Structure 1
Amino acid sequence: MQTRYRAGPPPLVVVPGMLCDRALWDDVAFPRGHDVHHVPLRRAEIGALAEDVLGTVRGPFVLVGLSLGAIVGFEVLRRAPERVAGLCVMATNAGAPRPEQYAAWRELDGLVAAGRFADVVERTLPGMFPDRTPTPRAARRYRAMAHAVGAGAARAQLAAQATRTDAMDVLRAARCPTAVLAGARDALCPPAFHRAIARAVPGARLTLLPDAGHLVPWQRPDAVSAALHDLVAAVGTAPSGADDSHLGTTTSTRRK
């Protein structure tokens, strides 16, 4: 359902990654005074998911996405750049799928179709964490979230992954304040992917997190919270066109 946007602080539209839901953001302190809208990933095509995001609110908003959620965000930016007042992406890849990724997604989909969704959760679990070694508590937390997402949504997300395209041209044309966060120990989306994104977007700010893997909002909620507070402040002061005032790269060492 679309929510009418009123004058004032722009809402945040938050999109999780594959096998993730709004629980991904439970530890994040979103900026006060901004409505927060969570968009689930339940459709099998990136364009359809982007339309879900655009239909969540009216008017401009700050888009926050992790992994597949950020990829959906790139498509939103392609379709309606005037709607995106600010962009925060993390643990993601702006490139087109590689042949080995198509093969991996087909294999995972086959497992889900055969009733082996639990096996898919276990296969994906190590890559979510630094050095592929989650604590028992972190592993339990991921399993609970993935199973809450469920097999049907997982198949839709796998199909959607295969419809994504290279987004670097979109990023080079972006003119909104942008924050890019990368876990230095992310085995799925390493820092190089994020450096490319930050180089493409005029004025983007890249934050490297030495002790984080793929699930940045769980592993460094303090850094995500700080990035969002800085981003909405930049959105509030950004003039029309590109905003270069927040240009730079930081390495975050703060812990919650």
Structure 2
Amino acid sequence: MAAALPAGASGPLPVVVVPGMLCDHDLWTDVAFPAHHEVHHVALTAPDIGGQADEVLSAVPGPFVLVGLSLGAIVGFEVLRRAPERVAGFCAMSTNAGAPRPEQYAAWRAMDGLIAEGRFAEVIEQTLPGMFDVTEPPGDLAGRYRSMAHRVGPDSARAQLAAQATRSDAHDTLRTVRCPTTVLYGTRDALCPPDFHRSIAQAVPGARLTPVPGAGHLLPMQHPRPVSAAVRDLLAEAERTHRIPPSHSEESPPCPVI
């Protein structure tokens, strides 16, 4: 992989990919990112959404395309709020822009308690059924999910649970987004159903809403081809629309436009 471009340099936009809870780089193994774009994987370890947004923003200098799933996309919403000029394109998948619900707070506290008692493996098994299409057994994907979760480990898992509790409704931020945006969802996602994604796409001006029929929550593992196609199209659009302001002029807009 080539060295990252310095801020303000020309060239293909880097891609920053951010996984969901208990997931790592293997989530994206089967996604065919275009070879001329650098791909940077971010691990979410801070115990709050703001700190995790900083982890994303520190992954590369300058502008980038952000691809996030579930918690990774939620962190992306905060990145867009803090530094919209850095995000040249955004892909949100299998996610929720709403504020946490009371039952979610209760579930997160219960999972954190189990992990604190040394029962991390039980938490992994509790979360596994929601990761895939509920009508089909996940097969080998279940093993991959367990392996990812164990690599993330109990400490980062507790930090991610704590971060979830610091979320807030992101729809006001989404209404200000002006970069090319794609919203992907699985039609059989039990954790983040289609309505969540419709509300995101309705909030972002010009967003492209893309359903993946028969897919559950972990789209890149279960259906990598439509994810690959959506990311490829987003990158092409971001490259067309992104403009880097000249250092001697204030006339260019501070962020990409559609």
TM-score by length of 1: 0.91
Residues of 2 paired with 1:153 and 1:4: CA distance?
Answer: 30
Aligned counterpart, 2:219:
216
Tell me if structure 2 keeps the 8 A contact 1:202–1:242. no
Q: Would you say how many aligned residue pairs link Structure 1 and Structure 2? A: 242
Q: Give the CA RMSD over aligned residues.
A: 1.4
Contact 1:96/1:166 (<8 A) preserved? yes
CA contact (8 A) 1:126 1:134 kept: no
Query: Aligned partners of 1:211 and 1:238: how far apart in 2?
Result: 32
1:49: which partner in 2? Answer: 52
Match of 2:62 among 55, 59, 64: 59
Q: Secondary structure at the match of 1:182?
A: strand
For 2:137, the equivalent position in structure 1 comes to: 134
Equivalent residue number for residue 225 of structure 1? 228
Query: Displacement of 1:3 after TM fit?
Result: 6.8
User: Identity of aligned pairs, percent?
Assistant: 66
Structure 1's 67 and 109: CA in aligned 2 closer, same or farther, altered over 3 A?
Answer: same
Equivalent-residue separation in structure 2 for 1:135 and 1:52 (angstroms): 31
* 1:117 maps onto 2:136 in alignment: no
Letter in 1 for 2:240: T
What amino acid sits opposite 1:134 in the alignment?
Answer: P
The separation in 1 between residues aligned to 2:240 and 2:152, in whole angstroms, is 37
SS of 2:134's partner is helix
Q: 2:163 aligns with which of 160, 164, 172?
A: 160
Hey, what does 1:147 align to over in structure 2?
150
Matches within 5 A, 1:53-202: 53-131=56-134, 133-202=136-205
Letter in 1 for 2:114: L
**Equivalence for 2:31:** 28
Cα offsets for 1:39-85 (capped at 9, x unmatched): 00111000001011111111110000000000000000000000000
Distance 1:16 1:135 in 2: 19
Post-superposition CA distance 1:64-109 (Å, at most 9, x none):
0000000000000000000000000100000110111000000000
Q: Distance in 1 between matches of 2:73 and 2:217?
A: 13
SS in 1 for 2:16: strand
Aligned residue identity for 1:28: V
Aligned residue identity for 2:6: R
Give the Cα separation in 1 of the matches to 2:186 and 2:139. 20
- Aligned AA (1:121): I
Query: Residue 6 of structure 2 corresponds to which residue in structure 1?
Result: 4
Alignment partner of 2:32: what SS? Answer: coil
